[in-house]
Amino acid sequence: MKKSLLLFITLLGMATVQAEDYNYLTIVCIDGTKTSLTAVGLSISFSDTQLTATNAYTDETTTIALTDLASMKFSNTDETTGIHTIHANETNDKKNAIYNLQGEQLPVNATLPKGIYIIKKGNETQKYIVK
């Protein structure tokens, strides 16, 4: 009975786990240079001495010697441009101030079309892309 209960709790815990939806893969080299690639459509292959990352949708390709590779991580930020990716329903926080690229302030509760925006959160200002 205890084993069945433990198995049930374990399965229930596994059922509620979700994978994050990351938009970029950032590759960091040992010299500190960073390369960000769009994650959707990305394929990564390894040869004896090289990593090759290719995106079928954007035609981005990067080849890096494995000896130069420091780390790789998935995120919602293109770390080479500083642009964050969010979905339109994530901009409705009343503490935010939203501006378009023309500098016009937009209503916080507005549904934003796809595009690039500047969002001020308290003392922090960031660039966002809405997909």
> Phi, psi (5° rounding) for residue 14?
-70, -30
pLDDT, tens only, 70-129: 998 888 777 666 666 655 555 555 567 888 888 888 887 767 778 888 888 777 787 887
Residue 98's CB: how many other CB atoms inside 10 A?
21
Q: Contact 83/99 with Cβ under 8 angstroms? A: no
Q: Does 6 score more than 80 pLDDT?
A: no
| H or E element, residue 14 | helix 2-15
Tokens of 92: 């409705």
pLDDT of residue 95: 61
Long-range CB contacts (within 8 A, 24+) of 37-41:
37/62, 39/74
| H or E element, residue 127 | strand 124-130
Q: Does 32 score more than 60 pLDDT?
A: yes
pLDDT of residue 20: 60
Q: Contact 45/62 with Cβ under 8 angstroms? A: no
